[in-house]
Every structure is written in structure tokens, then in C-alpha cells.
């Protein structure tokens, strides 16, 4: 399993970073739109739209939504940033409430489908908005990816080695507080290293006094994104959202943490150029 995860993750990470640094922003928008549409297919299935027609309709609905946002140049607008942040703060409260119940509470059939369109669109907006920041956009997207990947990798190994105390057993029995701590530690380490590397070439880059609290918030919300997807999978009685990516499951399994992290990071960068 670990070997499959690594063999899948390395080419994907290389592709994403190459697009971030070497190509215009429209290419990153297109790449993440494809990822979002693949995730929408899986989200539809988790929401109860099991037929091909239902899933295709859901994917088309998201495609139309993303096309409309792109046509309106919505990523460069700040209008959606605060609503996007509040959306994920509300989800965080709901996930924590689910975790405290001690048992799983099933959602109304229509709610996951509506939430999916909002969530995937906000993530696309977040990625596009961050990359569009003058001069430093590619750096901030790289930092975002480092935080999400670091939290995932650190959480995986720390959880396997030290995991004892369950994080949210009613939602995701395999996740532990030790794993969260390990993911936070690795994510913050990567943030420090990137800040030290970027400061000499990016004038005005915020210092660690600003960066570390923001990175902590982004990592915390990435865990919420992961748990929110776990709620969908529990409702659908599935282990993975799909089988697209060997060792990882589906596309939604791969980007679940990023769905929360991207709009939160974009909101934090409102005043950063």
C-alpha cells in the first residue's frame, strides 16, 4: 500500500508543481478544474446519485458553475473569500459536533449534493486566487501544497507509529491525535523551510510570526476537510471515494484536505501581494 501511494503521489506532485511554476495561471485553473470534475463524479456517488445519468448531470452542473465563475473572473475578486471562510468554519463546527456524538448521524439526502457543488467551487476559486497573487502566487500555492502534503505524510507515519488516542472514532476510526500532531509538526517544518528559502527573493514576504499561525489554521482546516469527506463515505458505506489513484482511492480521497485548505489560505492572503 505504501509503495503504491508513493508511486502515485510523486508523479502527481511533480505535475502540479511544474504547472504552478512553469505555466500561466489558466493552466493551473484547468488542471484543478479537471480534478474537481473527477471528484464531483465521486461525490455524486457518495451522495446517492449512483446512476450514470445522475452523476453526469452533477459533473455538468459543476462544469457550468466553474465556467461561469471563470467568465466572471471571480478568482481575482475578494467577494467570495469571507463567505468561503465562514463556510468551512461552519463545517468545522458541524464535524466537531458529529465527533462528540459518539455515533454517526446521517445527513438528509439532498444536503451532500448541494454542499459538494459549493465546496468544489470554493476550492477551485481558492487555488486560482492564490496563484493569481502578483509575483508571489506560485510560492503561496507551493506552500499550500506543502502544508497539505506535509500534514498528510506526517499524520500517516506518526499515526501508525504513535497513534493511541482516537481523533473522531464516530467519523474516521483510523485517525488519531498523535497523527494530527505529527502532521502539524511536519507541515510547520516545511512552512519554515519554504519561508527561509523564499524570503531572500520575494521582498515583503511575511515573517514567521504571521506565517506559523496561518499555517497552523490551514493544517487544522485540512484535517476538517479530510473528516468531512469521511462523513460522506460513512453515509455511503464506502472505504474510498473511488479507485482512480492506486494506493489513494479516488480523486476526492486525494484532494479532500485541499478542498478546505485552499479557500482558507486564500482568505488569509487577502492583504498579501
Residues 206-249 pLDDT 10s: 999 999 999 999 999 999 999 999 988 888 888 888 888 776 68
pLDDT above 90: residue 169: no
pLDDT above 80: residue 28: yes
Tell me how far apart the alpha carbons of residues 151 and 182 are, in angstroms, rounded to a whole number. 7
Q: Does 138 fall in a domain?
A: yes
- For the chain, the domain total comes to 1
Q: Does 91 fall in a domain?
A: yes
For residue 245, the SS3 value is strand
Domain enclosing residue 181, as ranges: 2-268
Q: CB-based burial of residue 65 (10 Å sphere; 0-12 exposed, 13-18 middle, 19+ buried)?
A: middle
What is the DSSP code (8-state) at residue 176?
A: E
- Side-chain-side CA neighbours of 255 within 13 Å: the count stands at 29
Radius of gyration of the chain (CA): 18
For residue 170, the SS3 value is coil
Q: Does 273 fall in a domain?
A: no
The whole-number average pLDDT for the span 166-193 is 94
Per the DSSP assignment, residues forming a β-bridge with 249 are: 245
Task: Please give the grid coordinates belonging to residue 63.
Answer: 462544469
Tell me how far apart the alpha carbons of residues 58 and 95 are, in angstroms, rounded to a whole number. 24
pLDDT above 90: residue 97: no
Tell me how far apart the alpha carbons of residues 45 and 153 are, in angstroms, rounded to a whole number. 27
Q: Does 222 fall in a domain?
A: yes
Task: Please give the grid coordinates belonging to residue 127.
Answer: 487555488
Q: Does 251 fall in a domain?
A: yes
pLDDT value of position 16 = 94
**Neighbour count for residue 37 (Cβ, 10 Å):** 18
DSSP string, 71-131: HTTGGG-STTHHHHHHHHHHHHHHHHHHHHHSS--PPPTTHHHHHHHHHHHHHHHHHHHHH
pLDDT value of position 96 = 85
Phi, psi of 129 (to 5 degrees): -65, -40
Task: Please give the grid coordinates belonging to residue 217.
Answer: 489554521
pLDDT above 60: residue 273: no
DSSP string, 188-221: HHHHHHHHHHHTTTSTT---HHHHHHHHHHHHHH
pLDDT value of position 1 = 58
Whose cell is 473527477? That residue is 38
- Percent pLDDT > 90 in the chain is 73
Q: Does 61 fall in a domain?
A: yes
Task: Please give the grid coordinates belonging to residue 249.
Answer: 482511492
Amino acid at each position: 500500500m505504501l509503495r503504491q501511494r508513493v508511486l502515485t503521489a510523486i508523479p502527481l506532485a511533480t505535475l502540479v508543481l511544474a504547472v504552478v511554476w512553469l505555466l500561466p495561471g489558466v493552466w493551473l485553473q484547468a488542471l484543478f478544474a479537471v480534478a474537481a470534475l473527477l471528484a464531483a463524479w465521486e461525490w455524486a456517488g457518495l451522495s446517492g446519485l449512483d446512476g450514470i445519468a445522475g452523476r453526469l448531470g452533477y459533473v455538468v452542473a459543476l462544469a457550468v458553475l466553474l465556467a461561469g465563475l471563470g467568465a466572471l473572473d471571480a478568482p481575482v475578486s475578494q467577494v467570495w473569500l469571507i463567505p468561503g471562510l465562514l463556510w468551512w468554519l461552519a463545517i468545522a463546527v458541524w464535524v466537531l459536533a458529529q465527533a462528540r456524538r459518539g455515533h454517526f448521524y446521517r445527513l438528509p439526502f439532498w444536503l451532500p449534493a448541494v454542499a459538494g457543488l459549493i465546496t468544489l467551487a470554493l476550492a477551485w476559486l481558492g487555488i486560482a486566487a492564490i496563484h493569481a497573487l502578483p509575483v508571489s502566487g506560485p510560492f503561496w500555492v507551493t506552500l499550500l501544497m506543502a502544508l497539505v502534503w506535509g500534514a498528510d505524510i506526517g499524520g500517516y507515519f506518526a499515526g501508525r507509529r504513535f497513534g493511541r488516542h482516537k481523533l473522531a472514532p464516530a467519523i474516521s476510526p483510523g485517525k488519531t491525535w498523535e497523527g494530527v500532531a505529527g502532521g502539524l509538526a511536519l507541515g510547520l517544518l516545511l512552512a519554515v523551510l519554504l519561508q527561509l528559502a523564499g524570503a531572500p527573493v520575494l521582498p515583503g514576504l511575511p515573517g514567521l510570526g504571521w506565517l506559523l499561525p496561518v499555517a497552523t489554521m490551514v493544517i487544522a482546516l485540512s484535517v476538517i476537510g479530510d473528516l468531512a469527506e469521511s462523513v460522506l463515505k460513512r453515509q455511503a458505506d464506502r472505504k474510498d471515494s473511488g479507485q482512480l489513484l492506486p494506493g489513494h482511492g479516488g480523486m476526492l480521497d486525494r484532494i479532500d484536505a485541499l478542498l478546505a485548505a485552499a479557500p482558507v489560505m486564500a482568505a488569509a492572503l487577502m492583504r498579501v501581494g
